[in-house]
Amino acid sequence: MAKVRKGVEVSIAIADAVAQADVDVIAAYPITPQTHIVEHLSEIVADGELDAEFIPVESEHSAMSVCCGSSAVGARTFTSTSSQGLALMSEIFFIAAAMRLPMVMALANRSLSSPLSIWNDHSDVMMVRDAGWIHVFVDNGQETYDNIFCAFRMSEDPEVMLPVAVNLDGFILTHMIEPVMYEDDELIRKYLPPFKMKNALHPDNPVSMGCFGMPEIYTEAQMNREMGVRNSYPHIIRAWDEWGRLTGRHYRPVETYRADDAEYCIVTMGSYGETAMEVVDTLREQGEKVGVIKIRLWRPFPLEEFRKAALGKKHLIVLDRAISFGTRGGPVATELRSALYGRPGAPSVVNYVAGLAGRDVSRKDFTNIILQGKQKAASGDTEGFTLYGLRG
């Protein structure tokens, strides 16, 4: 494929990116709203446009098991899922990270049952946030397309060797038709070297993976894993920097918009970042000194970059897309509060949870959240969270 700007459904752009990345194995089970990604990939493989194994498994548990097997032998591996599918594969999802098996997942974020819902929020990814995967969040179609390649580069880096999830909001992104700049195959080949699995399963060089761990060794194995995730950070930056150098599109673990001189900021993760930026433009015209902080890299958590963006601000208004039941906070706000605790210049944190199961959060709602949030922060009302738009 030559470099071309296309109007394309984001799900199709993901499938096309996976094909351009020349994957060897795709194992996935269709689930709303990820379906188009997998359907289109199965067509690409069936039409002979991509020389890969498309393995139509009987469940997500099997999908992730197949991915572990294919990664273990050194095959470039892709999967995609959502919500209940992620829940069903969660057993193997953790194992993929623990066994340091490189693979890329497009995770079309969707709420968890019950009540049963097919729409978008972040309750599915928050269930597995501590699994040891790298989690990237994207805002739009272009970022999704780009980050499929970046994710393969990060995942298969010999210094990283971790599975990577590219989190994109279900429907809001998966089913949207957007202009996406496709890159030339030659550029992709240059950016993505062939995958060489360390200690790959092969009869000539037998190894044992996923062994039993007695109490004498389990603690050491967990620390080895923790350091693996922590140490992936500079290599994630390198993957993004190299992509930026080749394409002119740059990514950072924490990105800011009109935040440098802002007195307070709204913090978002995922596609709401775009609405937030528009609303901030309008509010700036009205004299509000407000900016946006976007968390792009959720794991490993970019502690230093986040602090750099946040310290010195008066308030942060954190928009969560999930509830961590019983903790009186959304998962993002809880973590940011912890990152700021006891730091000189730490802003006060007001937490809103909004847009659960696809309930629309309009520009007007964003304006309300920002202005009400500022008032709450100024009056010291920073405990817990507010469920925005809740009746009763």
Partner 1 sequence: MAKPMDQITWQELETGAVVVEVGNSTQYETGSWRSERPVVEKEKCIKCMYCWLYCPEACIHQAEEGHFEADLKYCKGCGICAAECPAKCITMISEEK
Contact flag: residue 103 with partner 1 (CB under 8 A): no
Contact flag: residue 73 with partner 1 (CB under 8 A): no
Residue 329 to residue 337: CA distance in whole angstroms: 10
Which of 43, 55, 52, 46 is closest to 24 using CA atoms?
Answer: 52
In whole angstroms, the minimum distance from the beta carbon of 71 to partner 1 comes to 10
Segment interacting with partner 1 (CB under 8 A) among 93-101, 122-130, 164-172, 282-290 = 93-101
List, as own/partner pairs, every contact residues 323-332 make where C-beta atoms lie below 8 angstroms and the sequence separation is at least 24, other chains included: 323/123, 323/353, 323/356, 323/385, 323/387, 324/126, 328/383, 328/384, 328/385, 329/384, 329/385, 330/385, 331/122, 331/126, 331/129, 332/267, 332/269, 332/295
Task: Say if strands 297-299 and 77-81 run parallel, antiparallel, or are unpaired.
Answer: unpaired
| Residue placing its CB nearer to partner 1 in the complex, 208 or 286 | 208
Contact flag: residue 157 with partner 1 (CB under 8 A): no
In whole angstroms, the minimum distance from the beta carbon of 205 to partner 1 comes to 8
Q: Which of 98, 181, 246, 311 binds partner 1 (CB under 8 A)?
A: 98
Contact flag: residue 211 with partner 1 (CB under 8 A): yes
In the sheet where 77-81 sits, what is the strand order? 53-56, 25-28, 77-81, 104-109, 164-169, 134-137, 297-299
Q: Which of 186, 220, 278, 381 binds partner 1 (CB under 8 A)?
A: 220
Q: Which of 3, 198, 202, 230 binds partner 1 (CB under 8 A)?
A: 198
Backbone angles phi, psi at 376, to 5 degrees: -60, -45
Beta bridge mates, 165: 105, 135
Contact flag: residue 99 with partner 1 (CB under 8 A): yes
Q: Which of 208, 286, 341, 390 binds partner 1 (CB under 8 A)?
A: 208
Residue 54 to residue 26: CA distance in whole angstroms: 5
Segment interacting with partner 1 (CB under 8 A) among 119-127, 142-150, 203-211, 353-361 = 203-211
CA 210 remoteness from chain centre: 26
| Residue placing its CB nearer to partner 1 in the complex, 99 or 177 | 99
In whole angstroms, the minimum distance from the beta carbon of 103 to partner 1 comes to 13
Contact flag: residue 231 with partner 1 (CB under 8 A): no
Q: Which of 52, 64, 66, 101 binds partner 1 (CB under 8 A)?
A: 101
| Residue placing its CB nearer to partner 1 in the complex, 99 or 311 | 99
| Residue placing its CB nearer to partner 1 in the complex, 101 or 369 | 101
Residue 260 to residue 275: CA distance in whole angstroms: 19
Q: Which of 216, 260, 261, 285 binds partner 1 (CB under 8 A)?
A: 216
Residue 157 token pair:
């880096």
Contact flag: residue 213 with partner 1 (CB under 8 A): yes
Segment interacting with partner 1 (CB under 8 A) among 21-29, 55-63, 80-88, 213-221 = 213-221
Which are the contacts of 31, defined by CB distance < 8 A and separation ≥ 6?
60, 81, 82, 83, 84, 85
Please answer whether residues 220 and 53 qualify as being in contact, where contact means their C-beta atoms are separated by less than 8 angstroms: no
Q: What DSSP designation does 115 have?
A: S
| Residue placing its CB nearer to partner 1 in the complex, 213 or 312 | 213
Q: Which residue has the tokens 């602090």?
A: 307
Q: Which of 176, 209, 246, 311 binds partner 1 (CB under 8 A)?
A: 209
CA separation, residue 138 to residues 19, 100, 165 (Å): 20, 23, 11
Site residues (vs partner 1, CB under 8 A): 98-101, 161, 198-199, 206-209, 211, 213-214, 216-217, 219-221, 223-225, 227-228
